Amino acid sequence: MANNLVILESPGKIGAVKSYLGSNYKVIASVGHVRDLPKSTLGIDIDNGFAPHYINIRGKGDLIKELRKEAKNADKIFFATDPDREGEAISWHLAAILGDDAKKAKRVTFNEITKSAVKEAIKHPRSIDMNLVNSQQARRILDRIVGYQISPFLWKTVKSGLSAGRVQSVATKIIVDREEEIKSFVPQEYWTITAELKNQNKQLLVHYYGGKDKRLKIENKAQADKILADVNGKSFVVDDIKTGVKRRAPQPPFITSTLQQEASRKLNFQSQRTMKIAQELYEGVNLGSEFGGVHGLITYMRTDSLRVSQEAQVSAREYIEEKYGKDYRPEKPRVYKTKSNAQDAHEAIRPSKVGFEPSLIKKHLTNDQFKLYKLIWDRFLASQMSSAVVDTVVADFENSGHIFRASGYTVRFKGYTAIYTEYNESTSTSDEEQFSFDKNNKLPELSVKEGFDGNNVNAVQHFTEPPLRYDEASLIKFLEEKGIGRPSTYTPIITVILSRGYVSRDGRFLVPTQLGEIITKIMAEHFPDILNYKFTANMENNLDTIESGKVALETVLDGFYKDFKKELDKAADNLKNESVEVPVEETDIICELCGSKMIIKNGRFGKFAACPNYPKCKNTKTLDKDGKIAESKPVEKAEFKCELCGSDMILRKGRYGDFYACANYPKCKNTKTIEGKTEQKCPKCGAEIVKKQTKSKKQFYSCTRYPQCDFSTWDTPTDKICPTCGGMLLEKKNRIQHYLYCHNKECGYKMELKDENK
């Protein structure tokens, strides 16, 4: 019997892939990259063709040993990492650590984790695509050179710990530039006039339009008053009636950027949350015995291609005809044109199986999974449906040479809007193009020369508004339009500039901090190419040409570095003695210990108020989202006293769970772990699991029948069931890792989790 080894990138896929391939296949995961550039040095030999020096990632020693052991015992090895540049590079690094055993290895990819896709991929293995690998390496090397060679200038000039990045610096500049637009915006006055028209049988509201031949803008009160004087007390007469038919075609299925944008608008999801949930849907969800266990529910979620497989089109069209009728299915399948700079390596984001209707599988999904899956499913089905058809009417009313207008519509055919509509408050279409397909906006029957009396003719003053700040959706849209970044980088870009403190959140909007503005100013003065939109977009295109095999990696890097080195040398001279002070943000909060006005600081968990006299005074206060002192939670005391000093014992939260600590800390450092029953049952014998502590007061869990039953664990038992073997899933959570894994070591199931606040 053949012994085949399949190495995935994410442990979340193991259960699904293993169930599709059977007992002849051992399936394990690399859990992302196994090698990378060293953190302590540049790791690039610039003088020797930009040769990178890779090292094994710290903490992955045991995993690498396991991978080598399994590879040695395997007859065939399949690298099944993600189907993109990053996944290809991970496969290449895996081949490097496996040494001679890598000769048995082949590369396989699947765009969706379904039985047919996985089996088909195994039937058609290929060699590692070095063009894809070199494209990823070029990006990594470029980012390393920019980050490691510019950041020291920021340390000397501003403060230590800062960083610059090839794309993160551009993204920060975009947000800084928008803030400058808002600050320099000068409001322009304009007026609108409305009138309520009525005759014996009809009434309607009309808006001032202008003259007979063109639309006019009312710029001041004098103009508005003149129009009011002209029309008040006089009749409005129907001057012209235009009828028409508007057809509205559906939007294409999602790509990464449009999914992030629509999830932000409709579901209020941040991009990181969207991609986390999409990853879960792609890797597989256990739908129970009713649907045959674990299934990947969507295709690969990092893509900029609008291509859809013929099989998926046929499936969608059959579903549409059966569910809605022939009129809702267009004569020919809809095909959407992908942008010229798209990689087109994968399909658009779509459900892997149309038959998995969101309502049918809802009970097997989390609330977030259901919302995002329904959004993807609805959008894809709608993209293959007939256009919506609307009958429109525009009526012009004349009074004293002035034209007032009313418009209306009736929905003739809902088409794709029976499933999905992308129209919402963020859509920038005009009133005449904005339709609600759930109801009509019908005007009364009108005829030319028909007269109306004008009532409540009102003029209202307005002022133009400054442009909105970017939120995640609009920033991603801008990055995509300018060709900055690629589907896999949008979320990391936003995450980095927020974590570095260059940008902060104000509700859903992104606002530059003073630090972000200072960094952008320095970068613009000394490294203008790095902040140039066209330069950055052109570099993305160069990476694409490496992927296509048209240009060598060294050629692109050398072309970049020649000019970059000149900027570095020039900056070294100009910034020798320059120093920039980051202004502190003062608050009205008075430090009760020393009387100083507290200042705003950024920490791991957001902004907080701190005494400016640190370290002499270490007073801090937690702030809420409005910048005010957050209300402290009431102290929860234990029923017992500290056995060392007699003080109260207070409930605290720690990395290993809740515990009691002496209120007299730090004078008394006594702590006590909370022991007691849990709601979980032992996966080995069914008895209760209890929480205990070691002599060193570290918390653990064990079966009440211990040692007769040997179940014990440092990690938290959960009520979640392993999708692979049906065992109990344990939760591992600390500062650097958060995942679920099966209690059964032979199973090996593991699923990475991410905290929303990280």
Rounded distance, CA 283 to CA 114, Å?
A: 10
Contact 217, 208 (CB under 8 A): no
**According to the 3-state scheme, what is the secondary structure of 570-628?**
HHHHHCCCCCCCCCCCEEEEECCCCCCEEEEEEECCEEEEECCCCCCCCCEEEECCCCC
In the set 25, 209, 300, 502, the catalytic residue is 300
Contact 482, 171 (CB under 8 A): no
- By the 10 Å C-beta count (0-12 exposed, 13-18 middle, 19+ buried), 724 is classed as buried
Nearest C-alpha neighbor of 528 from the set 496, 573, 564: 564
Nearest C-alpha neighbor of 270 from the set 757, 602, 627: 757
**What letter represents residue 105's amino acid?**
A
DSSP state of 541: H
Q: Beta partners for 733? A: 738
**According to the 3-state scheme, what is the secondary structure of 596-609?**
CEEEEEEECCEEEE
Q: Is 300 a catalytic residue?
A: yes
Residue entry with tokens 């910048």: 627
Rounded distance, CA 604 to CA 757, Å?
A: 9
Rounded distance, CA 402 to CA 397, Å?
A: 8
Give me 118's structure tokens: 């996985």
Nearest C-alpha neighbor of 609 from the set 632, 582, 586, 633: 586
Burial 188-222 (b: 16+ CB within 10 A, else e): eebbebebebeeeeeebebebbeeeeeeeebeeee
List the alpha helices (DSSP H) in 185-235: 221-231
Rounded distance, CA 314 to CA 357, Å?
A: 16
Nearest C-alpha neighbor of 442 from the set 721, 202, 736, 647: 202
- By the 10 Å C-beta count (0-12 exposed, 13-18 middle, 19+ buried), 365 is classed as buried
- Contact residues for 118 (Cβ-Cβ < 8 A; gap 6+): 16, 17, 20, 21, 110
Q: DSSP string covering 243-271, please?
A: EEEEEEPPPPPB-HHHHHHHHHHHH---H
Give me 289's structure tokens: 């015995």
- By the 10 Å C-beta count (0-12 exposed, 13-18 middle, 19+ buried), 331 is classed as exposed
Give me 166's structure tokens: 């090839």
Rounded distance, CA 688 to CA 737, Å?
A: 27
Going from the C-alpha of 465 to that of each of 185, 219, 424, 429, the distances in angstroms are 8, 15, 20, 17
Going from the C-alpha of 202 to that of each of 42, 446, 451, 590, the distances in angstroms are 77, 9, 11, 65
Give me 366's structure tokens: 């989390």
**What letter represents residue 413's amino acid?**
F
Residues annotated catalytic, as ranges: 300
